[in-house]
Structures are given as C-alpha cells and as structure tokens.
Amino acid sequence: MVDRNGRGRSRNHPVLTGSPRSPPASFVEQANVTDPEIYETFEAQWPECWERAADRLSWDEAYDTVLEDEDAPFYRWFTGGRLNAAYNCIDRHLESGRKTHTAIRWEGKHGERRTYTYRDLYVAVNEVAAALRDLGVEEDDVVTIYLPMIPELPIAMLACARIGAPHSVVFAGLSADALATRMDAADSEYLLTCDGYYRRGDAFNQKSKADNALLKLEQDVQAVVVDRLGDDLPHVLGDGEYDYHELRETFSGATVDPVSRDAEDMLFLMYTSGTTGEPKGVVHTTGGYLAHAAWTSHAVLDVKPEDTYWCAADIGWITGHSYIVYGPLALGTTTVMYEGTPDYPDRDRLWEIADRNAVDIFYTAPTAIRAFMKWGPEYPDRHDLSSLRLLGSVGEPISPRPWNWYYEHVGREACPIVDTWWQTETGAVTVSTLPAIDDMKPGAAGPGLPGIDVRVVDEAGEPVEPGESGYLTIARPWPGMARTLYDGDDRYLEEYWNRFSDPEADDWRYFSGDAARIDDDGYLTVLGRVDDVMNVSGRRLSTTEIESAITDVAGVAETAVVGRSNGTGDTEVVAYVSTEGGHDDENAVREAVVDSVESAIGPFARPSRILFTPELPKTRSGKIMRRLLEDVANGEELGDTSALRNPEIVGEIQAEIRDD
Ligand code: PRX
C-alpha cells in the first residue's frame, strides 16, 4: 500500500466499487462519441490521434508537427500552428451565423439574471481588450484577475486571450497576502478586480483586500475595478485605478484584431498548491490546452452547440477555466454561470436553475453531491429535471453511495455519470469513462482516456497488479499538460518528473501526487494525495503552506497539519500545535492561528480543530510522524509506536482529541 510519509491519504475513498451500470440507451443514441474502437484507434495512431482534438479548433496557420519530444519532458504540441483562443471561443461562432445564440447565462446570487449572446460577448470582450491595450498591456504581459463569479470574469479572461496577454486568475476567496504572492511571482503589473461581492447575504469588500495586496508589491500596478455592489458598498478609485464600466463606455464599439499566437504561447497561468509552501504557477499553452479542453468537452461531457451546459464550479480554479469558459465556449454552446451557493435562498436553488434553464449537462463536485444527499431527495424532486442528459463529478473521489444518489435522484437513472479525474497540471480530463461506450462503476473514475497512458506503479515504477494500489503516473505526454512552472523548469522536473522517470533511457513518467487502485478492466479508483497536498472539499491546500502560516504566530513552537474525515465524507484541516514555554494562553494562540491562516491563504483553509500538545511525536531522527497524527485525528488504530523518540506523547494527544 502506498503511504509515503503517511501524508494526505484520503480516508474517504471508496473501498469497494458498486455494481457496474451500462450507459442508458437514450443517451447512446445521440452521443458525440460512440465508436468503441476509439481506444485502439488512438493507440494505433498515437500521437497523430490528437489531431482530432486540434481539429475542433480554427487555426490561423496549420501546425506542422503534432508532437515534438526532442526536449522531453518539455513537450511541444501542434508546433508551427497559430491561433487565438478568444477567436475560437467567440468570433468563429459569429461567422457561422450564431450571433444570437446564448453564450453565457448568468444567474446572480439574489435572483438577478444576465444573458450574453455570442455577439454580446464579442462586443464586451473587444471593448475590454481595447481598454487593456490602452492601459499599456502588451502581448505576453501577465494580467491578474481577482474577480468572483460575475460575467466580467470570463470577459476579462477572453479579453486577455484576444490580445495575447496571459491571465492569472486568483480565486476571489484567497487573501490579500495570497494575491500579493501570486502577482509578485508573476511580476504582474495589471489587475482586474471589483469593489466587492455578496457573501451569505452580506456585502463583502474585495477591493480592500486588493488594496492591501498592492501595498505589498514593489511594482506599480494599474487596476481596473468592476462596480458590482453599487451603493451597497461605495468605493473610491485611487491613482492608477479605473472603473470597468467607464472604460467600456470610453471604448464603446471598439474592436481589436485577435492576436495570432503560436500554439505553444502561454494562454494562462494558474497558481496551485504544491508540496512546498510556495504556490506553483502552472503554465498552460494556447494550442494544446484549448484543443484538449474542447475535445474532452465534446467526448467526455458530450457538449453540443445547442445544449445548455452547466458546470457549477468556480472559474477561480482550473475546473472553471476548462469547463465553464474555454471548453464549452470553444464548442459554441450555452454555458451557465452561477454566482451563489447551493442552499441560498433554499436547498433547491441549483435544481430551480437547472429546471428553469432546461439544463442538459450538469457537472459538479462530490462535496456538493454529499450535501444534496444529506438534504434529501425532496429538493430535486420539487423540480422537473427531465432535460438533464449527462452528469459529471470532479475534484475528489466519489464513493458509491453519493454516486448512486446522484444517479437516482438527479439523473432519474437516465443520465450517465462521468467521474472525471484530472488536475490543474493536466489541463483537462485525463481519466474518465466515455459516457456512451464504457460501463460506469460507482466509486471508480474509469480508464485513462483514449491516448492517455495512465499507469499505476509501485515504488520502483513497475505496474502494480489489478486490485493493488500504487502511484498514479502517466507515461506519455498529452496536449493539455502543463508545459512548465512559471517559477522555473527545475521545479517542474522536481515536482512531477524526477520521481519515476529514467532520463538516461529517455523514459519520462509524469507523477500526479495521487495514489490509485486499478482493476482488471483498467478502471482507476483514486485514493487521494500521497504528497503534502490536502484535498479539502475538492479544494487543493498545501499542508506546508498552512503550517508556515501557523508557525508565523508568536508563541507557536511547532505545528503539524493533517486531514481528518468528518464522518460525512468531507476532509477537515486539523492542526496540532505546541507552544513555546511561557505561552499558556491557548485561546489567544488559537485565535491568532485562525487569523494567520485566513490572512495567508483564505477563510476556506482555516483549521476546524486546533489541538495543543506539549510536543509533537517524532522519530529518533527528529522527523514529525504525521501519519500517526493523522491516525490519531481520525480515531484509527495505531500501529507500532516504538520507533518514536517520545512515544508517551501519543497517549496524551489521544486524550486531548477525545476531550476536545
Ligand atoms: O487528488 C486528485 C483530486 O484533485 C486533485 C487535483 O486538484 P486540482 O488541481 O485542484 O484540480 C481539481 C479539478 C480537476 C487530484 O490530484 N481529484 C480530481 N478529480 C478527482 C480527484 N480525485 C478523485 N476522483 C476524481 N474524479
């Protein structure tokens, strides 16, 4: 069993998979991809098979080579080709007579609604692109976007793409410090943000967070501010700050030619948690990424131009980039964007939106599905969900019970479910069933997609037997893969490639950081992270990053952060803290720890339990035994503790957790 350092093992993973189900016939009849030979065809034609993905795009100049691997693992896809992502997501749909087709349907938190046709999107994106250019944004300048789920967010992304400026979207819930770190790392001199947004009914000030971030930066930054809250939160613009709506007014009717980008030019940067405290700037390219996002939207999510498609994720993370913005818009469909939460004003909010918009495809995360299940079937039952054709799940393992619940109560046993495994670094889906071809196994994501060579291996990199678990690796490149880290090629090699590759033999293996089990049919059951990354309700957090925020607190001597399953399948952050001598006001330290984590990362990373202990359990060489701490937090049987330097501490910690 895989257990490196004992970190990040998911305790929510399905131990068993449920009985297989075949794709519903009504779905198969109309599906985009139905040829079961597709796996063999991709295998036989690899890497040219990926031309199918590239063919879903419009190229300014055709590529000469599908894959260049001379400089592996720095792979290059569709080289020589040129294209523009905004052109692919907007202009070409106007040219094919679909101007009045709805591109974005936005559902606001308080019942506001906005609809953008492809023509409306074209106008908005052009005006914002013209305004950004006027501010001085040039090709390859990184523009940071710090916006909540409002239409101005995808508009800003596409405006950047139009002028060839890579965007770096920072999730709106991240803190001022986190924004500053990301802008600093990317040397970004432009920011799009807003005055604030509504959170649980209250006006929440986003601009003050952005202001605080800018104060920390050395570079001068020009900021564009969207007025989202009007009189609910008046704000003042300072030097170098511009009102978004005024800029649009100034550039009303302006058009900007889409900049033709090399296939390998950066489309965007996405910061994500890694195994060290520093977030990683994952670099995605224009050709390969867009081709992979569009192809998987077509083949896995079965998106068609006439669909109303809804991915209920946040655009601030990769799922929203690939499956709210780039994939669906490249295919010319209607993408739904929702600002609020699933339980406001009531627990049927999502089903009300799905019903009213006759949504065809719905894609969400297991943490949401578990909440729906807890709330009960009466909420989906209140609505007509018969328009739904396919359901998707992403972000963490889904066990058979919530899977079956989703299948019965949301999908009415008529919709296939795709359990899609992928990562910020893979760009788009890499493991999933093909919904009209493969049987579904509740609790197992599926096989590698055609052309994706997924291998579950042991410590030595050898494939494990079916039924066994091992490390989830990918043996061949794929178009949507990250090309490098903005922080440098060395870190890219270190984080993903060094562990299982044999450079002398030119044998390159991508290591995902996940463990998985593989069955006789090649289906993977993903078991969770085996590195210092935690998956908390589908969000990626670095234990090191949380630990370093806690260690910043005066009085804290040492800390270890682990994940704990809270009984409903979600993981919570548990922090063990030992204080320096003389600091015995635990409540003050507790508060300071929460504040420090919130200001370093954001409220969602806050530990749900902080346990004080005189010492942390350590090996004789002084290493903190996190595996043991994780077992203690989860109330598990403890193994042999004789290797510890201070075994007596374990009993004390167990007593502490019981009393807490
Ligand atoms: O642990 C895996 C989990 O989410 C991690 C990637 O997180 P992030 O880069 O934030 O991207 C999330 C959305 C693509 C993976 O390393 N994960 C993602 N999808 C699944 C999953 N775990 C199990 N099953 C999935 N379907």
pLDDT tens for each residue of 276-321: 778 899 999 999 999 999 999 999 999 999 999 999 999 999 999 9
Topology of domain 306-419 in CATH is Rossmann fold (3.40.50)
d(CA 188, CA 222): 10
Q: Give the per-residue pLDDT at 571.
A: 87
Cα–Cα distance, 45 to 295 (Å, whole number): 17
- Higher per-residue pLDDT: 531 or 42: 42
Quick check: 650 pLDDT over 50? yes
Residue 319 CA to ligand 1 centre (angstroms): 10
Residue 409 banded pLDDT, cuts 50, 70, 90: very high
> Relative to the CA of 317, which ligand 1 atom is closest?
10
Q: What is the 3-state secondary structure (H, E, C) of 635-646?
A: CCCCCCCCCECC
- Condensed to tens digits (0 to 9), the pLDDT of residues 441-487 reads 999 999 999 999 999 999 999 999 999 999 999 999 999 999 999 98
pLDDT reading at 10 higher than 60: no
Pairing of strands 167-169, 417-420: unpaired
Ligand 1: which residues within 6 Å by Cβ? 272, 317-319, 394-397, 419-424, 445, 512-514, 526, 528-529, 535, 540
Closest residue by CA, ligand 1 atom 22: 396
Nearest ligand 1 atom, CA 539: 10
Give the start-end residues of each E strand in 209-333. Answer: 222-226, 241-243, 261-262, 266-272, 280-285, 308-311
Q: Are strands 334-338 and 102-107 parallel, antiparallel or unpaired?
A: parallel
Q: Helix 176-185 and helix 586-600: axis angle, to 10°? A: 40
Q: At CB < 8 A and 24+ separation, what contacts does 13-16 make? A: 13/397, 13/399, 13/525, 13/526, 13/527, 13/528, 14/397, 14/398, 14/399, 14/400, 14/442, 14/443, 14/444, 14/525, 16/400, 16/443
Tell me the pLDDT band of 406, cut-offs 50, 70 and 90: very high
Per the CB < 8 A criterion, the answer to whether 301 and 390 are in contact is: yes
Question: What is the value of pTM for the model shown?
Answer: 0.93
Omega cis (within 30) before 328: no
> Exposure pattern of 212-234 as b/e (b: 16+ CB <10 Å)?
ebbeebeeebbbbbbbbbeeebe
Closest Cα to residue 466, out of 527, 431, 518, 514? 518
Residue 338: partners with Cβ closer than 8 Å, 6 or more residues away: 106, 107, 149, 310, 312, 350, 353
Query: Who has greater pLDDT, 585 or 72?
Result: 72
- From CA 336, how far away is CA 339, in angstroms rounded? 10
pLDDT for 472 equals 98
pLDDT at 67: 98
> pLDDT value at position 8?
37
CA of 365 to the centre of ligand 1 (A): 10
pLDDT at 11 over 70: no
Q: What is the pLDDT of residue 198?
A: 87
Taking the C-alpha atoms of residue 466 and residue 456, their distance in angstroms, rounded to an integer, is 9
> Can you identify the CATH homologous superfamily of domain 532-659?
ANL, C-terminal domain (3.30.300.30)
For residue 537, give the nearest of 367, 411, 288, 386 by alpha carbon.
Answer: 367
Residue 391 has pLDDT above 80, yes or no: yes
Domain 86-259 has CATH 3.40.50.980: yes
- Which pLDDT band, with edges at 50, 70 and 90, does 619 fall under? confident
Residue indicated by tokens 């994706």: 452
Give the atom of ligand 1 at the shortest distance from the alpha carbon of 526.
23
Note whether 86-259 and 532-659 share their fold: no
pLDDT higher at 458 or 654: 458
Q: Check: CB of residue 38 under 8 Å from CB of residue 450.
A: yes
**Residue 50 CA: distances (Å) to CA of 54, 78, 305, 431, 484:** 7, 9, 21, 16, 20
pLDDT score of 658 = 78
- Name residue, tokens 């013209």: 130
State how far Cα 191 lies from the chain centre: 21
**Helix, strand, coil abundance in the chain, percent, nearest 5:** 30, 25, 45
As a three-state string, the secondary structure of 56-89 is CCCCCECCCEEEECCCCCCCEEEECCEECHHHHH
Distance 344 CA to ligand 1 centre (A): 26
Residue 56 CA to ligand 1 centre (angstroms): 25
Please report how the helices 543-551 and 586-600 are oriented relative to each other, as an axis angle in degrees rounded to 10.
130
List Cβ neighbours of 52 (8 Å cut-off, separation of 6 or more): 295
- CA-420 nearest atom, ligand 1: 26
Query: pLDDT tens digits, residue range 551-562?
Result: 999 999 899 999
What pLDDT, on a 0 to 100 scale, did the predictor assign at position 640? 77
CA distances from 64 to 33, 59, 79, 263 (A): 27, 12, 6, 11
- The least confident of 338-342, 443-447, 619-623 is 619-623
| Model confidence pLDDT, tens digit, residues 494-511 | 999 999 999 999 999 999
- Contact by Cβ (8 Å): 240, 113: no
State yes or no: pLDDT of 133 exceeds 50: yes
Least confident of 82-96, 100-114, 158-172, 640-654: 640-654
CB 270 within 8 A of CB 284: yes
pLDDT for 16 = 65
- When mean pLDDT is compared across 198-207, 300-309, 344-353, the lowest value belongs to 198-207
- Residue 153's SS3 state is helix
Average pLDDT over the chain, rounded to whole? 93
The whole-number pLDDT of residue 240 equals 96
**Does residue 326 surpass a pLDDT of 90?**
yes
What b-and-e string marks burial along 244-279, b requiring 16 or more CB atoms within 10 Å of the CB?
beebbeebeebebebbebbbbbbbbbbbbbbbebbb
Nearest CA to ligand 1 atom 7: 423
Instruction: Output the CA 332–ligand 1 centroid distance in Å.
Output: 26
Residue 405: C-alpha distances to residues 369, 375, 562 (Å): 8, 12, 29
Which residue's C-alpha comes closest to atom 26 of ligand 1? 421
| pLDDT at residue number 6 | 36
The vertex-614 CA angle with 610 and 619, nearest 5°, equals: 100
pLDDT at 425 over 80: yes
Reported as half-sphere exposure (CB side, CA atoms, 13 A), residue 147 has a value of 29
Q: Which residues of 538-554 are buried (b: 16+ CB within 10 A; e: fewer)?
A: bbbbbbbbbbbbbeebe
Could you tell me the distance, in angstroms and rounded to a whole number, from the CA of residue 10 to the centre of ligand 1? Answer: 12
Domain boundaries defined on the chain = 86-259, 306-419, 532-659
Question: 53 versus 273: which is more confidently predicted?
Answer: 53
* Cα separation of the two ends of the chain: 31
**pLDDT at residue 353 above 80?**
yes
pLDDT at 485: 97
Ligand 1 centre distance from Cα of residue 578 (Å) = 32
d(CA 128, CA 244): 8
CA of 50 to the centre of ligand 1 (A): 23
- For residue 306, count other CB atoms closer than 10 A to its CB: 11
Q: Is the pLDDT of residue 79 over 50?
A: yes
